Amino acid sequence: MNLMYSCKRVAELLSQRLDEPLGLIDEMRLRLHLSMCGNCSNVAEQIGAVHAASAELLSNGLEPD
């Protein structure tokens, strides 16, 4: 069994994690990959920043079109 997820699988999990909590194994394997892959870590930070900014906009009463 390969303990490392591919970058493609990590991108899928980062998106999924925004909608629902990941299982323990998926979360641990995701964190392992992010600790070793700078590109995916950057993507995770960018996704987090966009998510936070959109949540802030929505909390200020702005509604999506």
Write the pLDDT tens digit of every residue in 31-51. Answer: 999 999 999 999 999 999 999
Burial of 39 (0-12, 13-18, 19+ CB in 10 A): exposed
35 lies in a domain?
A: yes
2 lies in a domain?
A: no
pLDDT attached to residue 42: 97
64 lies in a domain?
A: no
pLDDT attached to residue 1: 65
pLDDT attached to residue 27: 96
Number of structural domains the chain divides into: 1
Domain that holds residue 24: 7-59
Residues 19/12, Cβ–Cβ less than 8 Å: no
What does R_g of the chain's alpha carbons equal in angstroms?
A: 14
